[in-house]
């Protein structure tokens, strides 16, 4: 029979510690609500003694969240415990999370006590917390470097005092899965009252082992996993909860475990955390990275088209992400090109695949990634239009008035004529330039994404700007590579205009153009 793994999220506590600036109450509440929708069992919402702002955040979230259990962190200090309880008093169900160092280095150099004193502090704090709630978690900080005899001793004592969850943190990410799983196995074997509490694990990723350690722990008796969305946190971060959740889901036949997480909410929650915390998700990040479900190899693409199970163990739509993405590059084969043309509504009799594929490979070598509108131009445009541009950036000037408003004058070549336009913006020179360019070209576009890919400020400085623009329900990608950031931004939009112009110029039936 499968056992349930409790999912404990500490994005708002341990995760926030890694941010350059603290989150506002409203930002924390938005993340907490997303975690609740995802079905997270326990949400650690803060360390209320640490600041008035953290106290207010915990208090607000406690009054709103109903379906997840609220948790706050506290040292084994009376005031910490009292403040934690006060901050969560509006919650229907809450947990106090106590922590205390148990490793030799923490006991001697940080706390400057002996181990018996540590046990006494832990027991007294649990008894005090019991006045407020019967849901008490105790963390043996730096358990990964604590001797197994001391660890077993303190775990037995705190369970006897009333702790209902025992957390075994690999605080500095020191252990590897065989070591960490052995710690859990020995606790289960040696602590006589271990069945009276849930064993939890909280792993850090300093050696890249956080998820592996967490999975090995649940194979040996742990029933709660702590972590953060996207793995954010101190130093190299925490256990990435989305990875643990999907590992349990995907390997349920091996692990014989399950969670109550609504996995179709994972992708949306990941994006919310990334945006609010201003921490971009690496493209190759497991489960939620932009490349997690992308396929570039021609062999892989052909296999995906025939049967997704050939190269996908998780379907992106299962976590709420978009369907498969076949990146068209020079490594792509004819099958992928034909597939994309079919997806756009074209039949094989509408174009010559041999000619299209030959042109595609040449463009892919030059450009890197080829998009849908590139294929249409290659397949249907006369040679005259395939590489022809209509818009050329000639020059621009930028001024700023005493009120902080940017005044931009732009000159571009369009239809073999030079056209000048002026625009203003309080939002910055890029916005002013884009407004001026739009006045000239008059394509009803919407900027969906603007990203500075790189900026070298050395003697031979180069800036790379990437944008995504929506035009008539289709996305167009623009890349600008120039010596300065502002020129790169302007050129990226000029490139988008030229893509749209080519499609509008060639005489084929293009949807919505």
- Bridge partners (DSSP) of residue 332 are none
Which residue in 451, 454, 447, 440 sits closest to 484, CA to CA? 454
Rounded to whole angstroms, the Cα distance separating 451 from 11 reads 25
Residue 513 lies in a domain: no
User: Do both 219 and 308 map to the same domain?
Assistant: no
Neighbours of 97 (CB within 10 A): 25
User: Residues with Cβ < 8 Å from 320, sequence gap 6 or more?
Assistant: 263, 264, 265, 266, 267, 268
Do 489 and 470 meet the contact criterion of CB atoms below 8 Å apart?
no
Residue 288 lies in a domain: no
Residue length of the chain = 513
Burial status of residue 109 (CB atoms within 10 A of its CB: 0-12, 13-18, 19 or more): exposed
User: Do both 452 and 498 map to the same domain?
Assistant: yes
Please report the pLDDT score of residue 316 as a whole number.
80
| CATH number for position 435 | 3.30.160.270
**Boundaries of domain holding 485:** 391-505
Do 117 and 159 meet the contact criterion of CB atoms below 8 Å apart?
no
Which of the listed residues 329, 361, 380 is the one where a domain comes to its end?
380
What are the helix (H) ranges across 426-484? 429-441
User: Do both 368 and 462 map to the same domain?
Assistant: no
Q: In percent, how much of the chain has pLDDT > 90?
A: 64
Per-residue pLDDT of the chain (513 residues; tens, 9 = 90+): 899 999 999 999 999 987 877 899 999 999 999 999 999 999 999 999 999 999 999 999 999 999 999 999 999 999 999 999 999 999 989 999 999 999 999 999 988 999 999 999 999 999 999 999 999 999 999 999 999 999 999 999 999 999 999 999 999 999 999 999 999 999 999 999 999 999 999 999 999 999 999 999 999 999 999 999 999 998 999 999 999 999 999 999 999 999 999 999 999 999 999 989 988 888 889 999 877 766 656 667 666 667 767 767 788 888 888 766 677 888 888 888 888 888 777 788 877 888 888 888 888 887 778 887 788 778 876 666 566 789 999 999 999 998 889 999 999 999 889 999 999 999 999 999 999 999 999 999 999 889 887 666 666 678 888 898 999 888 888 888 888 889 999 999 998 998 888 888 775 545 545
Neighbours of 65 (CB within 10 A): 22
Residue 385 lies in a domain: no
Q: How many domains does the chain divide into? A: 3
- SS3 call for 480: strand
- SS3 call for 468: strand
Which residue in 292, 291, 288 sits closest to 269, CA to CA? 288
User: Do both 452 and 490 map to the same domain?
Assistant: yes
Residue 510 lies in a domain: no
The string of DSSP codes covering 181-226 is HHHHHHHHHH-TTGGGSEEEEEEB-TTS-HHHHHHHHHTTT--EEE
Do 100 and 121 meet the contact criterion of CB atoms below 8 Å apart?
yes
User: Do both 193 and 306 map to the same domain?
Assistant: no
Burial status of residue 223 (CB atoms within 10 A of its CB: 0-12, 13-18, 19 or more): middle
User: Do both 108 and 190 map to the same domain?
Assistant: yes
Do 164 and 223 meet the contact criterion of CB atoms below 8 Å apart?
no
Which residue in 37, 82, 91, 93 sits closest to 64, CA to CA? 91
Residue 285 lies in a domain: no
Instruction: List C-alpha distances in Å: 182 to 178, 185, 265.
Output: 6, 5, 33
Q: What is the helix (H) or strand (E) element at residue 353, kind and residue range?
A: helix 353-367
User: Do both 62 and 178 map to the same domain?
Assistant: yes
Residue 198 lies in a domain: yes
User: Do both 397 and 418 map to the same domain?
Assistant: yes
User: Do both 249 and 320 map to the same domain?
Assistant: no
What are the helix (H) ranges across 13-137? 25-38, 52-64, 78-87, 104-105, 115-129
Rounded to whole angstroms, the Cα distance separating 128 from 81 reads 8
Hey, what are 347's tokens?
């039949």
Give the global pTM: 0.77
pLDDT in tens, 377-399: 788 766 665 667 899 999 999 99
User: Do both 367 and 407 map to the same domain?
Assistant: no
Rounded to whole angstroms, the Cα distance separating 480 from 463 reads 8
What is the 3-state secondary structure of 376-410? Answer: HHHHHCCHHHHCCCCEEEEEEEEEECCCCCEEEEE
What is the phi/psi pair of residue 146, to 5°? Answer: -95, 140
pLDDT in tens, 459-484: 667 888 889 899 988 888 888 888 88
Which of the listed residues 318, 348, 380 is the one where a domain comes to its end?
380
Do 435 and 423 meet the contact criterion of CB atoms below 8 Å apart?
yes
User: Do both 399 and 364 map to the same domain?
Assistant: no
Residue 282 lies in a domain: no
Which residue in 225, 291, 271 sits closest to 44, CA to CA? 225
| CATH number for position 251 | 3.20.20.70
User: Do both 31 and 157 map to the same domain?
Assistant: yes
Rounded to whole angstroms, the Cα distance separating 454 from 466 reads 10
Residue 308 lies in a domain: yes
What is the phi/psi pair of residue 412, to 5°? Answer: -130, 160
Which of the listed residues 243, 277, 311 is the one where a domain comes to its end?
277
Q: Secondary structure of the chain: what % helix, strand, coil (to 5)?
A: 45, 25, 30
Instruction: List C-alpha distances in Å: 329 to 37, 467, 481.
Output: 38, 19, 20
């Amino acid at each position: 029979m499968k056992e349930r793994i409790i999912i404990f999220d500490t994005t708002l506590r341990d995760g926030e510690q890694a941010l350059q600036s603290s989150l506002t109450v409203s930002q924390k509440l938005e993340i907490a609500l997303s975690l609740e929708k995802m079905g997270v069992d326990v949400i650690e919402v803060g360390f209320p003694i640490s600041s008035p702002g953290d106290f207010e955040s915990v208090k607000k979230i406690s009054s709103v969240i109903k379906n997840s259990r609220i948790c706050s962190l506290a040292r084994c200090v009376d005031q910490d415990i009292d403040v934690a309880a006060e901050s969560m008093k509006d919650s229907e169900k809450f947990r106090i999370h106590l922590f205390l160092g148990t490793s030799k280095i923490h006991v001697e150099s940080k706390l400057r006590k002996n181990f018996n004193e540590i046990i006494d502090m832990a027991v007294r704090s649990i008894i005090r917390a019991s006045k407020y709630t019967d849901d008490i978690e105790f963390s043996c900080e730096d358990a990964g470097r604590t001797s197994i005899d001391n660890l077993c001793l303190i775990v037995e004592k705190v369970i006897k005092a009333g702790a209902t969850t025992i957390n075994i943190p690999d605080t500095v990410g020191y252990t590897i899965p065989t070591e960490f799983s052995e710690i859990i196995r020995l606790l289960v074997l040696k602590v006589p009252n271990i069945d009276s509490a849930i064993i939890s694990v909280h792993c850090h990723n300093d050696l890249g082992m956080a998820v592996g350690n967490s999975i090995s722990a649940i194979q040996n008796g742990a029933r709660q996993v702590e972590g953060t969305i996207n793995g954010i946190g101190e130093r190299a971060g925490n256990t990435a909860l989305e990875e643990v959740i999907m590992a349990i889901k995907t390997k349920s036949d091996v692990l014989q475990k399950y969670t109550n997480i609504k996995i179709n909410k994972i992708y949306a929650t990941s994006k919310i955390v990334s945006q609010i915390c201003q921490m971009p998700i690496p493209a190759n990040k497991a489960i939620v990275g932009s490349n997690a479900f992308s396929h570039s190899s021609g062999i892989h693409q052909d296999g995906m088209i025939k049967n997704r199970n050939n190269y996908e163990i998780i379907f992106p739509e299962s976590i709420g992400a978009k369907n498969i993405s076949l990146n068209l590059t020079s490594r792509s084969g004819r099958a992928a090109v034909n597939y994309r043309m079919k997806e756009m509504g074209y039949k094989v009799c509408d174009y010559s695949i041999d000619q299209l594929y030959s042109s595609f490979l040449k463009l892919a070598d030059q450009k890197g990634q080829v998009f849908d509108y590139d294929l249409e131009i290659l397949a249907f445009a006369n040679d005259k239009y395939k590489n022809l541009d209509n818009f050329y950036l000639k020059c621009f000037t930028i001024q700023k008035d005493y009120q902080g408003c940017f005044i931009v004058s732009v000159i571009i070549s369009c239809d073999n004529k030079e056209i000048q336009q002026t625009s203003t913006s309080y939002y910055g020179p890029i916005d002013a330039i884009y407004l001026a360019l739009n006045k000239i070209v008059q394509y009803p576009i919407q900027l969906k994404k603007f990203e500075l890919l790189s900026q070298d400020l050395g003697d031979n400085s180069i800036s790379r700007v990437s944008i995504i623009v929506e035009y008539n329900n289709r996305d167009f990608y623009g890349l600008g590579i120039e010596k300065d950031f502002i020129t790169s931004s302007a050129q990226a939009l000029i490139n988008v205009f030229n893509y749209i112009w080519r499609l509008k110029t060639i005489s084929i039936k293009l949807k919505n153009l």
